Amino acid sequence: MARHCALIAGVSGAVGRALGKYLAAHEDWEVIGLARRVPPRSLDYPVISVDLTDAGACRAALGELKNVTHVLYCARAAHTAAVREPIDVNLAMLRNLLDAIEPVAPGLAHVHFVQGSKVYGSDLGPYKTPARESDPRVGEYNWYYAQEDLIVERSRGRRWSWSASRPHGVCDREPVPRSLAMVIAIYAAISKELGQPLHFPGTAGSFHALYQCVDATLLAKAIAWISTAPACANQAFNVTNGDLIRWANLWPGFAGFFGMKAGPVKTVRLSEVMTDKAPVWERIVNKYRLKPTPYEKTAAWPYGDFNFGRDYDIMSSTLKLRQTGFRDSIDTSRMLLEHLGHFRQQRIIP
């Protein structure tokens, strides 16, 4: 019999999907997913369709979930690349979920929420590295801070504790759009079809700067650990693969995987230059008899622009997490090539 019951918000995203899959494979966990739209393919656990921005809908959908012990919050409000994540909407979503589940789940023991390295201002310009969880907040208030302030204040005097994970550069071996592995895979496949070398689409500074990634499954393991280890209660933890990379060192390997030449840096905005490539993608799918994947669901190009476009080091220390006893790590270069190989095996890419 399961000892824990996880309610995973945002289960259709890269982090939530990997977390649900990981927990569902362990008999200690019962899993219930939440998503605005139920994923089309069947999963190993039930998924409830609910709009977290609607307080009434949350109360109606979650009112019977009395066995929930862990809320694992991986959701985020939809936004465009040109607009920063809205603070008010993201805050309301988390509040609505807690307002709905707290009164009906007497065994609620823990609330975990996923943040990111934007906590340290990694999106604003060069910042102090390696970033540590004890670093002071940057001057610009954001939705991560708002959610953390809500959770910290709300947990006072409650039965449940809280925690937060701070990943960066999430990569998933499953074909989800918001994964750097998929961005690289689809970009490379289209470049090859157009007879182009594999240029690095970001900036020259980003090409040579230190960078970090995290495998979605490793992140799922870390979230499970952080959410159940007493030593992790009421704290935030950086989570990465544990190593650092430079795209300049990895790019020739990606080109070799696709049988291409590695071209020089050619800075472009993927969210602009890839918008008209649907016909090219359809040609690739038909030519190589790939699994039909709609072009708009292949890769989140703004996510690529964000991760390839910064001219400074992106580094988070994971010492604090390791000191709690979590020891898992992954070689990022090997991980990305394995992800590409899995996409090919699954006939997602040629």
Residue 317's Cβ-count burial label (10 Å; 0-12, 13-18, 19+) is middle
CATH 3.40.50.720 fits 4-167+215-238, yes or no: yes
* Paired residues of 237 in beta bridges: 165
Give residue limits of the domains in the chain.
4-167+215-238, 170-212+244-315+329-345
Where do we find the tokens 């292949």? 298
Taking the CA atoms of the chain, what radius of gyration do you get in angstroms? Answer: 20
Query: Which pLDDT value is given to residue 39?
Result: 76
Q: How far apart are CA 212 and CA 313, in angstroms?
A: 9
CA-wise closest residue to 72 among 235, 233, 220, 215: 220
pLDDT at residue 198, as a whole number: 98
- Both tokens assigned to 264: 């020089």
Residue 169 backbone zone (phi > 0: left; psi -120 to 50: alpha; other: beta): left
The yes-or-no answer to whether 4-167+215-238 and 170-212+244-315+329-345 have a common fold is yes
How many angstroms separate the CA atoms of 215 and 181, rounded?
A: 10
> Regarding beta strands 47-49 and 161-166, do their DSSP bridges make them parallel or antiparallel, or are they unpaired?
unpaired
CB of 287 closer than 8 Å to CB of 190: no
Q: Please give the average pLDDT of every successive group of 10 residues along the chain, which has 350 residues.
A: 91 93 96 88 87 97 97 86 78 98 98 96 95 94 96 96 96 90 97 98 98 97 98 98 98 98 96 97 97 95 94 97 97 98 97
Looking at the DSSP bridge assignments, the partners of residue 238 are 166
Fold of 170-212+244-315+329-345: Rossmann fold (3.40.50)
* Residue of 22, 144, 187, 211 with catalytic role: 144
**295 catalytically annotated:** no
What pLDDT was estimated at residue 178?
Answer: 87
pLDDT of residue 164: 98
* CA–CA distance, 162 with 319 (Å, rounded to integer): 20
Q: What would the 3-class secondary structure string for 181-244 be?
A: HHHHHHHHHHHHHCCCCECCCCCHHHHHCCECCEEHHHHHHHHHHHHHCHHHCCEEEECCCCCC
Look at residues 42, 35, 46, 41 and name the one whose alpha carbon lies nearest to residue 13: 35
Rounded-to-integer distance, Cα 310 and Cα 298, Å: 23
In the numeric block, which tokens belong to residue 231?
Answer: 């030593």
Q: Which helix or strand (DSSP H or E) is residue 4 part of? A: strand 4-9
Instruction: Give the pTM.
Output: 0.94
Distance CA 35, CA 39 (A): 8
Distance, CA of 329 to CA of 99 (rounded, Å) = 36
Residue 269, pLDDT score: 97
